[in-house]
């Protein structure tokens, strides 16, 4: 009987595992090369940092942060990062192309340089992974034509109108169709990154990283419809977003950064607090000198601790909170400071089901 129960449990695990195609080594590389690419004038913070931080923890890939131009990337809605390379420098180093390219949402999804580079990487055989509305860049690159894809629920009407040659799927965390992978809202970055680890290094390694992060599930299961405005609590939360913006001044809030800072916790915290429309987040360090995060991202501090313009710091919860639960911690802080509707607004924008 015990063996039979074990067999059923194993079948259940296998049914939800391996939902992305297994990595195929094309170039005899020791590890797959993964480029996380941004556009300098504005790139979504969580979309960019979470896949980088999660994949880096696996040790299963060579990761590079990349931007279309030299200089720092202005992350939205907060922080600045200095990429490892420009797209041109990446091409010189890896003329055969990346194995995976992760494409976050950006302010300019029609940026000619970014769209052309993503298209070129796809033509070289890279697997292209859009995070949230990074799907608009991949669609502009022509890589979703004739394929299934998804993105944030809020752009669904726009996507169906402007890219009718794509089958847009809803109520799913991520979709793989050939060499393109796409994801739903911002919070899908975490499960998708774990699914990529599984595709590259196997289910056991993905499970180990998930445990380290405090994450229990990275399946495709997701219901985007519950985040759409509707009568009741959801609509009230969205209205709160407008009242926060129109009738409240924004608090300046600092998040402490130092060498080795956990980039996952930092990204979730800075992104969530900035989305409240009640606060603006700045990174605060001992100096303005760029510093390295836990997994090697280069952070360019906004303010200097002790300076006249340095804002009050949020409590440091990194020691007490697993990185995968940092968003929950930020939402609790928002609830305490600005009320439940503001915290719910942020969860809705993230498409974060745990708080809904």
Give pLDDT, residue 19.
87
Considering the domain architecture, whether residues 248 and 191 belong to the same structural domain is answered as no
- Mark the ranges of the chain whose per-residue pLDDT is less than 70: 1-18, 318, 320, 355-356
Burial of 4 (C-beta count, 10 Å sphere; 0-12/13-18/19+) = exposed
Phi, psi of 168 (to 5 degrees): -85, 120
Considering the domain architecture, whether residues 177 and 257 belong to the same structural domain is answered as no
Considering the domain architecture, whether residues 279 and 159 belong to the same structural domain is answered as no
In a domain, 1, yes or no: no
In a domain, 226, yes or no: no
Q: Which of 152, 178, 213 is a domain's end point?
A: 213
Considering the domain architecture, whether residues 119 and 205 belong to the same structural domain is answered as yes
Cβ atoms 98, 126 nearer than 8 A? yes
In a domain, 224, yes or no: no
Alpha helices in 124-188 (DSSP H): 135-140, 156-162
Burial of 142 (C-beta count, 10 Å sphere; 0-12/13-18/19+) = middle
The closest of 103, 107, 36, 35 to 76, measured between CA atoms, is 107
Give pLDDT, residue 184.
96
Considering the domain architecture, whether residues 134 and 276 belong to the same structural domain is answered as no
Cβ atoms within 10 Å of 90's Cβ, excluding its own: 24
Considering the domain architecture, whether residues 297 and 154 belong to the same structural domain is answered as no
In a domain, 187, yes or no: yes
User: Model-level pTM?
Assistant: 0.92
Considering the domain architecture, whether residues 175 and 239 belong to the same structural domain is answered as no
The closest of 271, 270, 303 to 284, measured between CA atoms, is 303
Tokens for 112, please give them: 């000619």
Considering the domain architecture, whether residues 201 and 245 belong to the same structural domain is answered as no
Considering the domain architecture, whether residues 106 and 200 belong to the same structural domain is answered as yes
In a domain, 8, yes or no: no
Helix (H, G, I), strand (E, B) or coil at 352: coil
In a domain, 9, yes or no: no
Cβ atoms 323, 317 nearer than 8 A? no
Q: Residues 267-277, buried b or exposed e (16+ Cβ, 10 A)? A: bbbbbbbbbbb
Q: What is the 3-state secondary structure (H, E, C) of 275-297?
A: HCCCEEEEEEECCCCCEECCCCC
Considering the domain architecture, whether residues 192 and 86 belong to the same structural domain is answered as yes
Cβ atoms 55, 196 nearer than 8 A? yes
Name the β-bridge partners of 82: 298
In a domain, 101, yes or no: yes
In a domain, 225, yes or no: no
Phi, psi of 13 (to 5 degrees): -65, -45
Considering the domain architecture, whether residues 254 and 345 belong to the same structural domain is answered as yes
Give pLDDT, residue 9.
34
What CATH number did the domain enclosing 57 receive? 3.40.50.880
Specify the number of domains making up the chain: 2
| 6-17 residue pLDDT tens | 333 333 333 334
Q: Which of 153, 179, 213 is a domain's end point?
A: 213
Tokens for 85, please give them: 């390379």
Give pLDDT, residue 355.
65
Considering the domain architecture, whether residues 173 and 265 belong to the same structural domain is answered as no
* 56: Cβ contacts below 8 Å, ≥ 6 apart: 63, 295, 296
Q: Which of 155, 178, 213 is a domain's end point?
A: 213
Q: Which helix (H) or strand (E) holds 183?
A: strand 180-183
Angle between helix axes 233-247 and 340-350 (nearest 10 degrees) is: 100
Cβ atoms within 10 Å of 86's Cβ, excluding its own: 18
Alpha helices in the chain (DSSP H): 2-16, 45-58, 87-93, 112-123, 135-140, 156-162, 189-201, 203-213, 233-247, 263-275, 326-338, 340-350
Could you list the residue range(s) of the whole structural domain that residue 262 is in?
A: 233-355
């Amino acid at each position: 009987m015990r063996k039979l129960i074990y067999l059923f449990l194993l079948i259940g695990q296998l049914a939800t595992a391996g939902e992305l195609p297994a990595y195929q080594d094309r170039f005899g590389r020791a590890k797959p090369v993964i480029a996380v690419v941004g556009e300098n004038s504005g790139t979504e913070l969580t979309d960019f940092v979470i896949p980088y931080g999660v994949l880096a923890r696996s040790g299963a890939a060579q990761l590079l942060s990349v931007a279309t131009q030299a200089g720092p990337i202005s992350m939205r809605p907060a922080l600045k990062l200095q990429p490892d390379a420009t797209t041109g420098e990446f091409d010189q180093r890896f003329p055969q192309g990346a194995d995976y390219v992760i494409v976050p949402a950006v302010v300019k999804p029609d940026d000619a340089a970014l769209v052309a580079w993503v298209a070129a990487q796809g033509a070289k055989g890279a697997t292209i992974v859009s995070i949230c509305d990074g799907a608009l860049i991949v669609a502009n690159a022509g890589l979703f034509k004739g394929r299934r894809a998804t993105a944030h629920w809020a752009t669904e009407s726009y996507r169906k109108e402007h890219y009718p040659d794509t089958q847009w799927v809803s109520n799913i965390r991520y979709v793989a169709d050939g060499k393109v992978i796409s994801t739903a809202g911002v919070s899908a970055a975490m499960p998708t990154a774990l699914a990529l680890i599984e595709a590259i290094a196997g289910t056991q390694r993905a499970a180990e990283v998930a445990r380290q992060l405090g994450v229990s599930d990275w399946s495709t299961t997701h219901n985007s419809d519950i985040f759409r405005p509707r009568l009741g609590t959801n609509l009230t939360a969205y209205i709160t977003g407008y009242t926060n913006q129109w009738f409240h001044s924004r608090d300046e809030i600092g998040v402490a950064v130092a060498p080795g800072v956990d980039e996952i916790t930092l990204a979730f915290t800075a992104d969530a607090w900035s989305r409240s429309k009640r606060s603006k987040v700045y990174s605060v360090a001992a100096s303005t000198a760029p510093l390295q995060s836990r997994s090697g991202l280069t952070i360019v501090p906004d303010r200097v601790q002790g300076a006249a313009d340095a804002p009050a710091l949020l409590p440091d919860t990194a020691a007490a909170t697993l990185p995968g639960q940092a968003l929950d911690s930020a939402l609790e802080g928002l609830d305490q400071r600005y009320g439940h509707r503001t915290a719910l607004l942020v969860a809705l924008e993230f498409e974060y089901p745990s708080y809904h």
